[in-house]
Structure 1
Amino acid sequence: MENETYKHTQMGWTTSIAVFVPLLICLGAIFTVPDEVAEVRNVLIAVAVILAIVLLLFFTLTVRVNATHIQVAFGPGLIRRTITRADIESIEAVRNKWWYGFGIRYVPSGGWMFNTSGLDAVQLVFKNGKRFRIGTDDPEGLVTALRN
């Protein structure tokens, strides 16, 4: 994204720990499973690979803002959303309920949310009435960047 006026990357500690601990358990189990039950080892390897991919994809959430767009991207950027600022009607810092969770979620208050850690977010309401929440540990900074 060119001419960024705001860029912030949040480490997803909650998400990372929730995935890393089972990954370590799987890796430890892979090396302790007896050769007689190789099928179990294969399942553990598959689970470990899936957990490693999830960890890689969701360990951070980066928000970039320029004059015309907002880009929200998890991890290395394979999963991202680009929003045209002209489509936004209102911007508000909000606090998510703990049960809204992390990752990519449809939230009960309406709309989608990208969140990697914490309960703070910025809610965007679009001119078409749809909503989108961006989880962030810098809600004030993001709101300020979006209102300028």
Structure 2
Amino acid sequence: MKFTQIGRPIIMVCIIVEMTLIGFMLFYAEKPSHELMFGFSTFLLVFLIFFYKLEVKVSDTKLVIAFGIGLIRKTIPIHSLQEARPAKSSVAGSGQISNYMLYSLGGVDCVEILFKDKLKSIRVGSDAPTQLSDFLNSRIQK
């Protein structure tokens, strides 16, 4: 089963910055600064391609967490998981937070996933945390 979280905040910020850069390039910027603005604009587009969505795929044997087009991904064997439960994150974004690793693009709703052999857990952002945790728990118990 597949669960997708669209990174609306990231998309909106990138669109606003891109529109501002295009406006400056068309109306205000001098020729030498066009290369810098074009480079930054290209960087933003690549960033957007890599992080416009977070996709969580759950099969009988593995959990795959993938950002954007899927080049940045983490695969976790289901047999190494202990439990999944809905949670709220204090921040939005991705990174190491005290006792868990957070994978999220926006919002505070997530699923906390506990491992059998590790003290730390991971939290995965989701627009449907209850459904994702229930489905994960059904796969863990098989």
TM over 0.5: yes
What is the CA RMSD across the aligned residues, in angstroms?
A: 1.4
Q: 1:118 aligns with which of 100, 107, 129?
A: 107
Question: CA–CA distance in 2 between the matches of 1:140 and 1:29?
Answer: 45
Give the aligned partner of residue 106 of structure 1: 96
2:20 partner amino acid? I
Question: What's the TM-score once normalised by structure 1's chain length?
Answer: 0.86
Please state how far the C-alpha of 1:111 moved relative to its aligned partner: 2.3
Q: Distance in 2 between matches of 1:90 and 1:9?
A: 20
Separation in 1, partners of 2:113, 2:28? 49
The residue identity in structure 1 corresponding to 2:92 is: G
1:10-57 superposed Cα distances (whole Å, 9 cap, x missing partner)? 2111121122211111122122245xx323111111110111111111
Query: What does residue 135 of structure 2 align with?
Result: 145
Given the alignment, which residue of 23, 27, 33 partners 1:28? 23
Percent identity over the alignment is 23
Partner residue in 2 for 1:132? 122
Give ranges in structure 1 of 5+ residues lacking alignment: 1-5
| Count of equivalent residues | 137
- Preserved CA contact (<8 Å) 1:7 1:65: yes
C-alpha displacement at 1:80, in angstroms?
0.9
* Consecutive aligned runs of 4 or more in structure 1 exceeding 2 Å deviation: none
